[in-house]
Amino acid sequence: MKIAFICTGNTARSQMAEAYGKYFASLLRKHIECYSAGAKPAKEINPYVKEIMKEEGLDLSLARPKGLEEIPLKDMDLIITLCDSAKESCPYLPSAKVMHWSLPDPADLQGSPEEILTQLRKIRDEIKHRVEKLIREL
């Protein structure tokens, strides 16, 4: 089973989902390959995302945003879009099941660094919950 988590920039939500997908697939001993990519990949991962994932014991220091062409998209069994713009721009693949999780965009968060981190942790925890449930059910 191959899963792709798709967002626009591949800087936050899809990176977190990929990391949790790999973590839970390994923990539950399931043969599931997880990827993430962006329809329009940015230059770097959101530094706040790296920080809050490190709190979870997941290191994204070597991760980088990837474009759709950098993953084996045509081989995917399941594609999950994590933002509305990615849902609209995601290529149609008749062999893949497609799901959509509409989650807030971390790039839109405002406030002090601590307020942004608090809001981002809520998004992270929602992604963690959804990915764990998905991997357990597969």
**SS3 state of residue 16:** helix
Q: Give the helix/strand (H/E) hosting 20.
A: helix 13-27
Spatial distance between the Cα atoms of 90 and 1, rounded to a whole number of angstroms: 19
The CA distances from residue 49 to 44, 89, 92, in Å, are 11, 24, 29
Could you confirm whether 34 is annotated as catalytic? Answer: no
Active-site residue identified among 6, 83, 109, 131: 83
Cβ neighbours, 10 Å, residue 12 = 31
Spatial distance between the Cα atoms of 51 and 112, rounded to a whole number of angstroms: 15
Q: In CATH, what number is assigned to the domain containing residue 85?
A: 3.40.50.2300
Q: Which two tokens stand for residue 9?
A: 């920039």
pLDDT in tens, 114-137: 999 999 999 999 999 999 999 999
Looking at every residue in the chain, the average pLDDT score rounds to 92
Structural domains counted in the chain? 1
Laid out side by side, the sheet with 33-38 consists of 33-38, 2-7, 78-81, 97-100
Region 44-61: mean pLDDT is: 97
Active-site residue identified among 4, 7, 12, 63: 7
**SS3 state of residue 35:** strand
Which has more confidence, 66 or 105?
66
Region 40-56: mean pLDDT is: 96
Give the domain extent around 74.
Answer: 2-137
Q: Is 6 exposed, middle or buried (0-12, 13-18, 19+ CB in 10 A)?
A: buried
Longest dimension (CA), the chain: 44
Active-site residue identified among 90, 127, 134, 135: 90
Q: What is the pTM of this model?
A: 0.94
Could you confirm whether 90 is annotated as catalytic? Answer: yes
Q: Which two tokens stand for residue 113?
A: 């660094």
Tell me the percentage of the chain whose pLDDT exceeds 70.
Answer: 91
Could you confirm whether 7 is annotated as catalytic? Answer: yes
